[in-house]
Amino acid sequence: MNRAYMKNETFDGTYPFKPHFEKINGFNMHYADEGTGEPIVCLHGEPTWSYLYRNFIKELSKANRVIAPDQMGFGKSDVPQDKEYLMKEHVENFTQLLLRLDLENITLVIQDWGGPIGLGFAVDHAERIKRLVIMNTSVGIMNEDRKPWYAILEEKGIYKQFIMNIEGLIKGGIYQKDNITESMINAYTAPFPSEEYYIGAFAWPKDIPVGDSHPSAPIMSHVRNNLDKLLEKDKILIWGMKDPIFPEKTIEWWHKIYPEIKTFQIQYASHFLQEDAPLEIIRIIKKFLGET
């Protein structure tokens, strides 16, 4: 299933970028590709798409080439119905795209599921990575005896209903409610005109590995166990402190992995910190680029 209706949609001019597509693993993967120079690659998570980085693309493409893909099943990318939407597929898709574009000296900007998926590429192609910008994400396997956050929704029989409330999910992950606009909500809800289009959004929460027998446990372990391959890369941590999904203690976890990582806490930002504090985060990234 494709989203031809979205191909040239700019959402009231808020996403004015020419669409680019690559046939990756049997589906058309969309990505924004603006500017020239050293590449910055921005990767989204649930249930967003490259629209999340529109302000970053506009500003950072003045001095760099900025690439922002839509992961399989999201944004302007196709929604294949014959895929499992497991982490290994998403990593493979992302890897194929970046290798086809033959990118080197990459500054990788990651958040939410963009974290483990982006790092899935980075740990196996560390020679292509120059810098990391890590925002509100984590990599790991939940203990077998722990209940994932969505378990209660499944018990109540409202899991799908919850995920299909995209407007509610977006608004719930933005602390600065004044930043929410009609164009923004339209942009985030447009990729999901009917239930079949939610296949990727339904799959992602359940792909968080709970125990070592989970189908995505092997690749998540592989990423987690190889994060030291990126130890020498320049990196910063930018954190929305009002995030209910990745709380403050996740910062401590990252500091154990990368003790030298410089951390910027955005006090009045939630899970979608790119919407809460785009200008502040862009300033931090620009300074980071200039210093490294």
Order the strands of the 65-69 sheet from edge to edge: 20-24, 27-34, 65-69, 39-43, 106-111, 129-135, 234-240, 262-266
Instruction: Please indicate whether residue 243 is annotated as part of the active site.
Output: yes
Write down the catalytic residue from 70, 78, 112, 234: 112
Instruction: Please indicate whether residue 271 is annotated as part of the active site.
Output: yes
How far, in Å, CA of 170 to CA of 167, rounded?
A: 5
Cis omega (within 30 of 0) for bond into 47: yes
How far, in Å, CA of 223 to CA of 230, rounded?
A: 11
Write down the catalytic residue from 70, 78, 243, 276: 243
From residue 147, give the alpha-carbon distance in Å to each of 18, 143, 262, 284.
42, 9, 32, 36
How far, in Å, CA of 76 to CA of 53, rounded?
A: 14
Instruction: Please indicate whether residue 214 is annotated as part of the active site.
Output: no
Write down the catalytic residue from 30, 214, 271, 276: 271
Catalytic residue ranges: 112, 243, 271
